[in-house]
Amino acid sequence: MVSFYHFDRMNQVQPEPGEWSNYFQRFLDGQMLYGSWYDHVGNWWNKTKTYPKLHYMFYEDIAEVIYLVEPLPEDKKTIVELVHFDNMKNNEMTNCSKRPFFDFSISQFMRKGKVGDWKTHFTVAQNEAFDEDYRSKMKDPTLRFRTEI
């Protein structure tokens, strides 16, 4: 939700997201430009069951591999270097810096790359509300988001 909020702030072709607390509630209510985030994510997750080449990759999974201390095989080492946040942030193909409708003075497309940064936005009450909302709307127990490493 935090990433989506900052993306909406800098994306000049979408409606202004407004203040965080209002955005938070609209997100829970599914009143986003393209509908419910839960439906979007859940539908794609379901497709991974019938399309074996479709792979969900979570940022926390990437970050965990990047910071492993054990040596990696050469091909994995190359991939890890390519998906390292700093490398992606400096790559025009991934940082979207050539897109004229993104206002980078508001937020960068590749913003922080910090696992757990959501904690700087959510209040305790919002975290509890989100967790309850997530449990009630995301019915597939195999879809588990990580929020820490």
Q: Is there a domain that residue 90 lies in?
A: yes
Q: Tell whether 142 is covered by a domain.
A: no
Instruction: Confirm if 5 and 105 have CB atoms less than 8 A apart.
Output: no
Determine, yes or no, domain membership for 145: no
Strand ranges inside the chain, DSSP E:
none
Whether 141 has a pLDDT exceeding 90, the answer reads no
The tens digit of pLDDT for each residue in 30-61 reads 998 889 999 999 999 999 999 989 988 887 88
Range(s) of the domain holding residue 21: 2-137
Contact 63, 149 (CB under 8 A): yes
Q: What is the pLDDT of residue 129?
A: 97
Instruction: Look at residue 101 and tell me if it is in a domain.
Output: yes
The answer to whether position 147 is within a domain reads: no
pTM: predicted TM-score of the whole model, two decimal places: 0.73
In a domain, 29, yes or no: yes
At residue 126, the 3 state secondary structure works out as helix
pLDDT score of 71: 67
Does 36 fall in a domain? yes
Residue 70 binned pLDDT confidence (cut-offs 50, 70, 90): low
**Domain for residue 146, yes or no?**
no
Structural domains of the chain, count: 1
CATH number of the domain within which 38 lies: 3.40.50.300
